[in-house]
Amino acid sequence: MGLLSGKRILVTGVLTESSIAFHVARLAQLEGASVVLTGYGRLGLVERIAARLPQPPPVLELDVTDDAQLASLAERVRPHAERIDGVLHSIGFAPRGALGGAFLSTPWADVATAVHVSTYSLKALATAVVPLMGEGGSIVGLDFDASVAWPGYDWMGVAKAGLESCSRYLARYLAPRDIRVNLVCAGPLRTIAARGIPGFGDFEDTWKARAPLGWDSSDCEPVARTCVALLSDWLPATTGEIVHADGGLHAIGG
């Protein structure tokens, strides 16, 4: 019996095998879950990557800024899963102008895009799947430390701070439905998203020098395991929490 035996998990954000979401989906299946993936834009690519999972899952289109797709999500999931027990929110984007040190000159349009896709989407996704979570469950989002200002991270850092606050409010309002909402705060990993962050190598150097447990930016497994644990029934009284899977750096002074 695996941690997720009999569970049905919806996973967003799989784009390549280096995606954290891919490793969560893989581990979820190995722990006994059935998985449904969502993808945005390049669905053919997502389907090819999905075929590399232990059990190729169905792939549904989902643009989290499209109200019509969100409204129809539960209806489109039902043929593959009558209910959903867990959801991974692995969605984030900021336009180039919102990153890289141009914080003071970033236009509102770029900020709005970053906040819509990276912050508000957690609430939008949660409310879209609530009809499928009648027996309760777990929503897990992916975070990066927003307690400090990182060089070049700029408005994505602001969006992540909003994500952290959003998760706490969702935890408050979804608790009566027995739905837990938590974030996993990961260290820097070499994903497609990371490649778009100017100076990502500096993040890697910081973790390599300071993380007391060490940090391998090419290994998504520790973060994926943390997500799977939160998606399971083993933390039934944990909600509104930010669980760090960062080699311990968050707790160590400079």
The secondary structure element, H or E, covering residue 143 is strand 137-143
The residue annotated as part of the active site, out of 120, 160, 173, 208, is: 160
C-alpha triplet 226, 116, 144: angle, nearest 5°: 30
| Strand order through the sheet with 86-89 | 59-61, 34-39, 8-12, 86-89, 137-143, 179-186, 242-245
Confirm whether 160 is a catalytic residue: yes
Cβ atoms of 97 and 156 closer than 8 Å = no
Q: Please spell the DSSP secondary structure of 77-114, one letter per residue.
A: HTTT-SS-SEEEE------GGGSSS-GGG--HHHHHHH
Evaluate whether 208 touches 188 at the Cβ level (below 8 Å): no
Name the active-site residue from 153, 169, 173, 208: 153
169 carries an active-site annotation: no
What are the catalytic residues?
153, 160
